[in-house]
Amino acid sequence: MRVAGLLCVVVFFGLATACAGEQAQDQPEATEAAEQTPDRAPELVQPTEWWSVHPRPVYASLEKVGTYQDWFDVYELAEGTYAIYEPNQFEESICYLVLGEERGVIIDTGNGIGDLRAVVEELTDLPVSVINTHTHYDHIGSNSLWDEVAVYDHPDEIARLRTGIDNARLQRYITDEYLWKPLPEGFDGATWTFPPTEPTTLMHDGDVIDLGGRTLEVIFTPGHAAGHACLLDAANRILFTGDHFYPGPLYAHEADVDIDLYVESNHKIAARVDEYDHVSAGHNDPWVDAEVIPRVSEAFDAIFSGGGEFTEGDGLRRYRFDGFDVLIRTEQVLAKTSS
């Protein structure tokens, strides 16, 4: 059932804002900068048999709702909270359906390969709108299936939505190296595009999204992307982290990553770790213990002080920590350690 609804955003202290008119072990990002990287050290970024980790052990402990279109596996994490997982493509994108009493939101919309809207409508009759944590391709693929789309108020994020992605740029993501199972029935790679999307709501740090009896706080966390935001469900003690954190190699090496802002953002959410018990990430594993977030800050402290164990090749280093890795350019580390 398709029901249009307005995403209601309320700022702390009751002040209202207007609605604007305007990573498997690994997962790559489809920024133009990444596409222009001449040598991406494939075994560090994307191991040849990346799919060999499946099935990921965490999913055996979660309540599976079902498999849809032979493409999406759906798990209920808490009451009214669903992880919609795409395990068959290298990104292993995870979208989250979060339901209140009056409406719901879908946090990120994946790769646009399956019919995400149909899955959502199997799960709820409530009106649902989109929130993008950021606008890399593997988070906005099904945006055009909804009328209401919220994104952080940053020109880079708005511009990427308004531009969309053409078929030629998407082709690499459905090659054999990105897939380990067949594409879903009805998907046509020859016509696959992401149409331009006009955001209907622009979010700001501290905004509270009211779903009726349930709220999500917007926390600005730039670094991985310039307008990246996490979402805190304080009542259910869940932090939705998008690509700020996921259990896999955290991408610190791409040209559009601001590593200083990333580390600052991690300190910001680590300072609030007593407000959430679980991290629901944009890739791989939807249910990670919150204690990992302070450890990410410790990991970067170790790297930039000359410590940490790593594998190196083609100008990249992959540092390994408990529950996540850090993929970073050697020159970035040397610049930090020599300063």
Using CB atoms within 10 A of its CB, is residue 260 exposed (0-12), middle (13-18) or buried (19+)? exposed
| Residues forming a β-bridge with 281 | 242
Query: How confident is the model at residue 188, as a pLDDT?
Result: 97
- List the pLDDT tens digit at each of the 339 positions of the chain: 323 333 443 333 232 333 332 233 344 343 333 333 334 456 899 988 999 999 999 999 999 999 999 999 999 999 999 999 999 999 999 999 999 999 999 999 999 999 999 999 999 999 999 999 999 999 999 999 999 999 999 999 999 999 999 999 999 999 999 999 999 999 999 999 999 999 999 999 999 999 999 999 999 999 999 999 999 999 999 999 999 999 999 999 999 999 999 999 999 999 999 999 999 999 999 999 999 999 999 999 999 999 999 999 999 999 999 999 999 999 999 999 987
**Helix, strand, coil share of the chain (percent; to 5):** 30, 30, 45
Measure the CA–CA gap between 157 and 39, rounded to whole angstroms: 26
Give the predicted TM-score (pTM) of the model.
Answer: 0.89
Beta-carbon neighbour count of residue 277 at 10 Å? 14
pLDDT of 339 reads 75
What is the model's pLDDT at position 29? 40
Instruction: Give the per-residue pLDDT at 231.
Output: 99
Determine phi and psi for 156, rounding to 5 degrees.
-65, -45
- CA distances from residue 255 to 170, 184, 278, 328 in whole angstroms, order as listed: 19, 33, 30, 11
CA neighbor of 53 nearest in space, from 28, 86, 84, 87: 87
> How many angstroms separate the CA atoms of 53 and 169, rounded?
28
Nearest C-alpha neighbor of 66 from the set 26, 119, 135, 107: 119
Q: How far apart are CA 105 and CA 189, in angstroms?
A: 27
> How far apart are alpha carbons 182 and 186 in whole angstroms?
11
- Residue 286: is the preceding peptide bond cis (ω within 30°)? no
d(CA 101, CA 211): 7
Secondary structure (3-state) at 300: helix
Distances (CA, A) of 246 to 240, 282, 325: 10, 6, 10
Q: Name the nearest CA neighbour of 106 among 115, 116, 92, 91.
A: 116
**Collapsed DSSP state (helix, strand, coil) of residue 88:** coil
Q: What string of DSSP letters covers 13-56? A: GG-B-PPP-----------HHHHT-S---HHHHS-TTGGGGPSP
Of 216, 208, 324, residue with least CA distance to 266: 324
Fold entry, domain 17-301: Metallo-beta-lactamase; Chain A (3.60.15)
